[in-house]
Amino acid sequence: MSSTVGQVIKCKAAVAWEAAKPLVIEEVEVAPPQKLEVRLKILFTSLCHTDVYFWEAKDQDSVFPRIFGHEAAGIVESVGEGCDRIGTWRSCSSGIHRGMQRMCPLQIKRKQYVQPPQDQH
């Protein structure tokens, strides 16, 4: 088996191109992890009410295209520089304490958005 450490990988994802429109299953490219980041091979994921809220894009700035499903389980595929240990759970509850129950500041700050292929959409 060849190593994908430090390489861009391709995988399938359910991409939202517009608010409240059906998700499209397509191949996307995932960059190698940056410093202190981890790249996972996702085995299971789910959509929660937060994902639905952002997919509907009501009363908010919409950001599309986008991949939802921040509740995931998988296998560590590669790690970025300086990452020497990985925890099992990370809380996004800091938004709750600031009156932003539907927003995870970690996700917003990182701007984890999909870049559309040049020949599509």
* DSSP-assigned letters across all residues of 7-64: S-EEEEEEEE-STTSPPEEEEEEEPPP-TT-EEEEEEEEE--HHHHHHHHTTTS----
Q: Quick: pLDDT tens for 33-90.
A: 999 999 999 999 988 888 998 899 988 888 899 999 888 889 999 999 999 888 766 5
Confidence at residue 92, expressed as pLDDT on a 0 to 100 scale: 55
Helix, strand, or coil (residue 2): coil
Instruction: Report if residue 115 sits inside a domain.
Output: no
pLDDT exceeds 90 at position 98: no
Per the structure, the complete domain to which residue 87 belongs is given by 9-110
The CATH code of the domain that includes 41 is 3.90.180.10
**CB 94, CB 105: distance < 8 Å:** yes
Inside any domain, residue 81:
yes
Rounded average pLDDT over 11-24? 95
**38 assigned to some structural domain:** yes
Question: What is the distance between the alpha carbons of residues 104 and 23, in angstroms, rounded to a whole number?
Answer: 22
Mean pLDDT (the chain, rounded): 79
Residue 63 located in a structural domain: yes
Q: Say whether pLDDT at 114 is over 60.
A: no
Total count of domains within the chain: 1
The verdict on residue 37 lying in a domain is yes
| Mean pLDDT of the region 8-28 | 95
Task: Tell me, yes or no, whether 84 lies in a domain.
Answer: yes
In a domain, 121, yes or no: no
* Global pTM value: 0.68
| pLDDT score for 61 | 81
Report if residue 60 sits inside a domain.
Answer: yes
Nearest in space to 114 (alpha carbons), one of 12, 7, 22: 12
